[in-house]
C-alpha cells in the first residue's frame, strides 16, 4: 500500500476511534504506534513533490492522535471518578 493511502487509512481509523470513544465504547489502539512509525520510515521514499503534502498530513495525524490521547485521558478520569462514587457514595449520602 502506498504511504499516502496508508496515512489516510490510519487517519480514518483515528477519527473512528474518537467517535467510538465519544459514544462510550472501549477502543483498541494496539499497533497504531507501529503503523505511524512505518509511515515515518516510508517518507524518504516519496517523490520530492509528494513530500510537502505528506508532511502536512502527518502533522494533521499527529494532532488527531494528541486529541485521541486527550479523549482517552478524559474517559479514564471519568471512569475513575465513577468508580470512586460507586465505592464511597456521593458526599450527600453520608
| Domain assignment of residue 94, yes or no | no
Q: How many other CB atoms are there within 10 angstroms of residue 94's CB atom?
A: 6
On the CB side of 33, how many CA atoms lie within 13 Å of its CA? 2
In the numeric block, which cell numbers belong to residue 82?
465513577
Helices (H), 23-50: 32-42
Q: What's the pLDDT tens digit per position in 35-91?
A: 999 999 999 999 999 999 999 999 999 999 999 999 999 888 877 888 888 888 765
For residue 18, the model assigns a pLDDT of: 95
Residue 93 has pLDDT above 90, yes or no: no
Burial of 57 (0-12, 13-18, 19+ CB in 10 A): middle
C-alpha grid cell, residue 87: 465505592
Residue 62 and residue 13 in contact, taking contact as beta carbons nearer than 8 Å:
no
Q: How many structural domains does the chain have? A: 1
Looking at the domain assignment, is residue 93 inside a domain?
no
pLDDT digits (tens, 9 = 90+) for 5-35: 999 999 999 999 999 999 988 899 999 999 9
Q: Is it the case that residue 94 has pLDDT exceeding 70? A: no
pLDDT of residue 91: 59
Domain hosting residue 30, numbered range: 3-87
Amino acid at each position: 500500500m502506498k504511504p499516502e493511502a496508508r496515512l489516510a487509512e490510519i487517519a480514518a481509523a483515528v477519527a473512528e476511534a474518537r467517535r467510538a470513544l465519544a459514544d462510550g465504547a472501549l477502543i483498541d489502539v494496539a499497533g497504531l504506534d507501529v503503523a505511524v512509525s512505518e509511515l515515518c520510515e516510508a517518507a524518504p521514499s516519496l517523490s520530492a513533490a509528494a513530500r510537502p503534502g505528506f508532511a502536512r498530513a502527518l502533522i494533521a495525524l499527529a494532532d488527531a492522535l494528541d486529541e485521541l490521547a486527550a479523549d482517552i485521558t478524559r474517559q479514564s478520569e471519568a471512569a475513575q471518578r465513577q468508580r470512586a462514587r460507586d465505592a464511597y457514595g456521593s458526599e450527600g449520602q453520608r
